[in-house]
C-alpha cells in the first residue's frame, strides 16, 4: 500500500518521506512541497528571537551597569 488520500488535504497522494523528520506518510505533491518550504514553525522562530533579544538586553545591562 503506497498510495492513498493525502494526510493534510485528502487529495490523491503517495507515501513520501518527511523533508525534516524521520517519518513517512501519504501526502500529495502540493502538501509535500509545503512541508519542505515551511519546516520551521513560526512559534519556534518567535521563541528564538525572544531568547536572542533577552540575551542582548541582559548583556547590554551587564556591560553598562556591571561591577
Query: Segment contacting Zn ion (CB under 5 A): 5-13, 36-44, 48-56, 59-67?
Result: 5-13
- 16 closest CA partner among 30, 1, 34, 32: 32
CB contact at 8 A, 15 and 3: yes
Site string for Zn ion, 7-26 (x = CB under 5 A): -xx-x---------------
Nearer to Zn ion, 16 or 31 (CB): 31
Distance between CA 20 and CA 15 in Å, rounded?
Answer: 15
What is the binding site for Zn ion (CB under 5 A)? 6, 8-9, 11, 28, 31
Amino acid at each position: 500500500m503506497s498510495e492513498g488520500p493525502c494526510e493534510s488535504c485528502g487529495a490523491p497522494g503517495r507515501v513520501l518521506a518527511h523533508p525534516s523528520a524521520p517519518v513517512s506518510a501519504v501526502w500529495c505533491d502540493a502538501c509535500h512541497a509545503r512541508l519542505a518550504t515551511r519546516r520551521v514553525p513560526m512559534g519556534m522562530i518567535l521563541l528564538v528571537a525572544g531568547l536572542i533579544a533577552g540575551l542582548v538586553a541582559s548583556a547590554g545591562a551587564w556591560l553598562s551597569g556591571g561591577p
